[in-house]
Copies of this chain bind each other. A is one copy, B any other.
C-alpha cells in the first residue's frame, strides 16, 4: 500500500460506493474526496452540527497496545458521540491523519478496516480530509451532523427539580483501559471486558429520540468521566446536582478480576471514554422516558438542585462532594 496525497482518503472512499446503509447518505455529497474541498448539501429545515476531536498517539492511545482496527473505529465513534450528545444524526466526516511511513502496511489496512466499519454502522461516510507524514500517529476527525431546526439539546437547559439520567453502564471503558495498561498485548481481541474501551458505541438512537420528542432539557456525552462532565453540565445550566450512588449503573467486574480490587463506583464516577449520554428531564416528562432505547438502558440517577454543588449521596444517606477526577489534558 503506497501513500500519496489523497490515496489514503480514496481507499476509505472507495468502500463507500458499494451498496449498504453507509452509502445511502452520500447523495448529499456533491463533491467528495479529490478536490480542494468537499461540497455537501444540507437538508432543508435542518441545522448543521459541527464537531472535531483530537486522537493522538501517546495522549489518547498507545500504538503498541491498541489494535489499529480499534483505533480506526474509535477515532470516528468518539467524534460522532458529540453529534449524539446534541440529539443529531451524523452526515459525513473529514479525516486528518499524520503517520509514519512504517505504518503504511498492515497497521493502515486494519485502521481503515475499523474506520470503514464505524463509517458504515454510524451512517457517516467520509467527505474529505488531509494526510501527511509524521513520526507519530496524529488523528483529527471532524464530524458534520444535522438536527431539526431548534431541536439541538444543549448543556444549559437543566433546572432544579429535573431528573438526571444516563444511558448504558458507566466505567466499562476505564475497566478495559486498566486491563490494557496492566497486560499490554496479552489480551484477546474478543475479550468482552475490552469492548467498550476499544469499540465504544455513540448513543445516536437515544440522543435523537430525546431530542425529537423534546424530552431532554440538557444533554452531553460522558467522554472525560461523570465527575468531570456533570460539573460542566451544571455550570452551563447554573445549577447543582445530587447523584444517588446506589442508582449508578456501574460496570460489572468479571469474577476472575475480583483480586484486583476494582471499585465499580470509582470507575463509574471517574472513568473516561464511556461515551454514554448524561441528560436531564423535567419532572412532568419522567414517565415518558422508556427503560431502554434499542438495547441501551436509561437509568435515573439523581436530581438537579438549585444549590450549586455536585453531591453524591451514599446508600446510608450520607452526602459528599464529587471531586473532579476525570480526564483533563491540562492537569
Contacts and interface: CB of A to CB of B under 8 A. Distances in A.
B130 A54 contact: yes
A50 B127 contact: yes
A152 B54 contact: no
Given A31-B154, A52-B94, A52-B128, A47 B40 contact: yes
Interface string A31-56: 10011111111101001111111101
A86 B236 contact: no
A200 interface: no
Contact of A142 (B88, B94, B147, B156): B94
B86 A132 contact: no
A145 interface: yes
Given A138-B138, A152-B30, A155-B36, A47 B41 contact: yes
Q: How many copies does the complex hold?
A: 2
Q: How large is the interface on A (under 10, 10 to 19, 20 to 34, 35 or more residues)?
A: 35 or more
A96 interface: yes
A329 B155 CA distance: 41
A124 to B, nearest CB: 13
Given A94-B142, A328-B5, A330-B133, A38 B59 contact: no
A88 to B, nearest CB: 8
Interface string A103-116: 00000000000000
Given A35-B86, A39-B152, 17 more contacts: A4-B330, A5-B330, A30-B152, A31-B154, A35-B220, A36-B220, A36-B221, A37-B51, A37-B83, A37-B85, A41-B48, A42-B47, A52-B130, A54-B96, A56-B132, A96-B140, A140-B140
23 contacts: A30-B150, A30-B152, A34-B155, A35-B154, A35-B236, A36-B155, A36-B219, A36-B220, A37-B145, A40-B48, A41-B149, A48-B144, A50-B128, A50-B144, A52-B128, A52-B129, A52-B130, A54-B140, A56-B98, A56-B138, A94-B142, A101-B330, A138-B138
* Shortest 4 CB-CB contacts between residues of A and residues of B: A37-B51, A36-B85, A132-B329, A42-B42
